[in-house]
């Protein structure tokens, strides 16, 4: 193990369960108010149907997941805005590209990272191609593989405790998500990755799910996660969902939202915020705010898109009454995980532009560098338009079933 990778503090799993049950009785619903030098922040980026979460206190900071590859500018901006020049650790909950996409960019960015953490249980990827291992190797570091019961000390009074996964799921990699409970003097957070009901039931059966103040909902708030049984055990005051309905239309699921509201949780969905939603845990309780980056133009509103499979184009429509210029625009195709730099995209007021590929008509306004079709004509494909700060501006799918 490299010297710059701290070894997590390990505890026997049985003792860990007993301690959690003890805390449930002693401090139901939250951690006790105790010694603390400053507030603790959890910042969840608005980067579409993807996860990137910063948890920081005085003198320490951790990043949980890194969104898509095209999300990296947003992650960089978040770290800069919060004055984070060094990360004590990066956690990868699982290998899907909406969580692991910016790992390599982060490793190459020059940001000092003391540790790279991932679940030792995973299935749907070859070990030598694990994105966390590749990123850590790029940074000249090793990976700390975590198992249930492991504890990572974040600050003098704060820590992450690994709850799962407890067993490998060979059918759905989401159920191999790294699930952690963050505890501090000012409150607690259950971080679920993309955990669905199968992993929820596993952890509930093991007795390791106890009340917490904030729930980071699993799998972008879809209907197969955040069950009533989980909510009964967690009893969250706040719940946050990282998603964009335009990118994944069944998220957040109305059924999930109904369950959360029935459980008494105040629900926050990242798409409803400008750049991020911030949770501040302090001596006065937990507060939230809509974060807008200082010195950065506000996210463009009013763009819509439509894919045409007939001529392999995507049209961008401006519903606003003034021209919109998206500087250094990036177009993403989800099926092929392709990224296309468009340069500065000008969409006239109440007008539209058409973006084509090598097989599209010659009348298109813009073209992407591709020698073949861009939009899949047999399976579901989603187009997403991003600005230079990694923020999604518009979505469209090709109308085919998933």
The pLDDT tens digits of the residues spanning 137-178 come to 999 999 999 999 999 999 889 999 999 999 999 999 999 999
As beta bridge partners, residue 386 has 330, 392
Mean pLDDT, to the nearest integer, of 179-196? 98
399's tokens: 């109308």
pLDDT recorded at residue 124 = 86
pLDDT recorded at residue 34 = 34
Mean pLDDT, to the nearest integer, of 84-101? 97
The angle at the Cα of 248, spanning 244 to 254, to the nearest 5 degrees, equals 80
Distance of CA 314 to the CA centre of its chain: 26
pLDDT recorded at residue 247 = 94
pLDDT recorded at residue 20 = 43
Provide, rounded to the nearest whole percent, the portion of the chain with pLDDT above 90: 88
CA distances (Å), 154 to each of 57, 88, 91, 185, 324, in order? 8, 8, 12, 12, 43
Distance of CA 201 to the CA centre of its chain: 22
Mean pLDDT, to the nearest integer, of 377-389? 96
Domain ranges of the chain: 13-291, 303-397
Number of DSSP helices (H) and strands (E) in the chain, helices first? 8, 25
The angle at the Cα of 293, spanning 267 to 49, to the nearest 5 degrees, equals 45
Q: Respond yes or no on whether the N-terminal peptide bond of residue 279 is cis (omega within 30° of 0).
A: no
User: 270 pLDDT band (50/70/90 cuts)?
Assistant: very high
291's tokens: 């974060």
| CA dihedral sign of residues 226, 269, 105, 370 | positive
pLDDT at 33 over 90: no
Provide, rounded to the nearest whole percent, the portion of the chain with pLDDT above 70: 91
Q: CB count, 10 Å around CB of 372? A: 9
The pair phi, psi for residue 4, each rounded to 5°, is -85, 10
Contact predicate 213/22, CB 8 Å:
no
pLDDT recorded at residue 356 = 96
Mean pLDDT, to the nearest integer, of 18-46? 56
What's the rounded Cα separation, in Å, for the pair 216 and 44? 9
Residue pLDDT, tens place only, 45-88: 999 999 999 999 999 999 999 999 999 999 999 999 999 999 99
Give the closest residue to 146 by CA, choosing from 1, 21, 14, 9. 9
User: 1 pLDDT band (50/70/90 cuts)?
Assistant: very low
Instruction: Name the superfamily (CATH) of residues 303-397.
Output: Lamin Tail domain (2.60.40.1260)
Enter the pTM of the model. Answer: 0.89
Q: Which fold has domain 13-291?
A: Metallo-beta-lactamase; Chain A (3.60.15)
Residues 6+ apart with CB under 8 A from 83: none
Residue pLDDT, tens place only, 292-339: 999 999 999 999 999 999 999 999 999 999 999 999 999 999 988 899
* 387 CB-side CA count, 13 A: 22
For residues 318 and 17, the model is more confident at 318
User: 2 pLDDT band (50/70/90 cuts)?
Assistant: very low
Mean pLDDT, to the nearest integer, of 211-230? 98
Contact predicate 192/179, CB 8 Å:
yes
- Work out the mean pLDDT of the chain and round it to a whole number: 91
User: 104 pLDDT band (50/70/90 cuts)?
Assistant: very high
Give the closest residue to 169 by CA, choosing from 94, 248, 68, 65. 94
Contact predicate 189/29, CB 8 Å:
no
- 3-state DSSP of 147-199: CCCCEEEEECCEEEEEEECCCCCCCCHHHHCCEEEEEECCEEEEECCCCCHHH
3-state DSSP assignment of residue 236: coil
What's the rounded Cα separation, in Å, for the pair 174 and 198? 10
| CA dihedral sign of residues 315, 320, 322, 327 | negative
Q: CB count, 10 Å around CB of 204? A: 17
pLDDT recorded at residue 371 = 83
3-state DSSP assignment of residue 279: strand
User: 9 pLDDT band (50/70/90 cuts)?
Assistant: very low
pLDDT recorded at residue 11 = 41
The pair phi, psi for residue 81, each rounded to 5°, is -65, -30
Q: What is the total residue count of the chain?
A: 402
């Amino acid at each position: 193990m490299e010297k710059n990778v701290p070894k997590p503090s390990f505890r026997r799993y049985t003792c860990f369960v007993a301690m959690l049950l003890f805390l449930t009785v002693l401090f139901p619903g939250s951690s006790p108010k105790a010694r603390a030098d400053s507030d603790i922040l959890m910042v969840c980026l608005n980067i579409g149907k993807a996860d990137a979460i910063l948890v920081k206190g005085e003198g320490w900071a951790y990043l949980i997941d890194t969104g898509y590859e095209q999300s990296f500018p947003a992650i960089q901006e978040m770290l800069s805005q919060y004055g984070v020049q060094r990360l004590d650790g990066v956690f990868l909950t699982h290998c899907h590209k909406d969580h692991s996409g910016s790992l390599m960019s982060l490793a190459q960015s020059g940001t000092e990272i003391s540790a790279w953490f991932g679940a030792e249980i995973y299935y749907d990827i070859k070990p030598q191609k694990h994105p966390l291992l590749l990123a850590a190797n790029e940074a000249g570091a090793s990976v700390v593989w975590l198992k249930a019961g492991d504890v990572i000390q974040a600050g003098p009074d704060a820590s992450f405790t690994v709850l799962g996964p407890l067993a490998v799921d060979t059918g759905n990699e989401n159920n191999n998500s790294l699930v952690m409970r963050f505890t501090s003097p000012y409150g607690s957070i259950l971080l679920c990755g993309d955990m669905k009901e199968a992993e929820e039931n596993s952890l509930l059966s093991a007795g390791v799910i106890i009340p917490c103040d904030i729930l980071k909902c699993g799998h972008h708030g879809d209907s197969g996660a955040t069950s009533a049984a989980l909510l009964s055990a967690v009893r969250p005051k706040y719940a946050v969902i990282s998603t964009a309905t335009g990118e994944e239309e069944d998220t957040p699921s109305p059924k999930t939202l109904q369950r959360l509201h029935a459980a008494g949780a105040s629900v926050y969905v990242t798409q409803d915020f400008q750049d991020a939603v911030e949770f501040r845990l302090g001596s006065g309780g937990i507060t939230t705010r809509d974060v807008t980056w200082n010195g950065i133009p506000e996210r463009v509103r009013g763009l819509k898109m439509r894919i045409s499979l007939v001529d392999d184009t995507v049209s961008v429509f401006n519903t606003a009454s003034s021209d919109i210029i998206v500087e250094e625009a990036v177009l993403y195709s989800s099926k092929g995980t392709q990224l296309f730099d468009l340069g500065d995209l000008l969409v006239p007021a109440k007008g539209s532009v058409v973006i084509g590929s090598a097989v599209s008509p010659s009348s298109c306004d813009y073209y992407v560098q591709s020698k073949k079709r861009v939009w899949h004509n047999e399976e579901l494909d989603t187009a997403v338009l991003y600005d230079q700060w990694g923020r999604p501006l518009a979505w469209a799918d090709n109308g085919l079933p998933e």
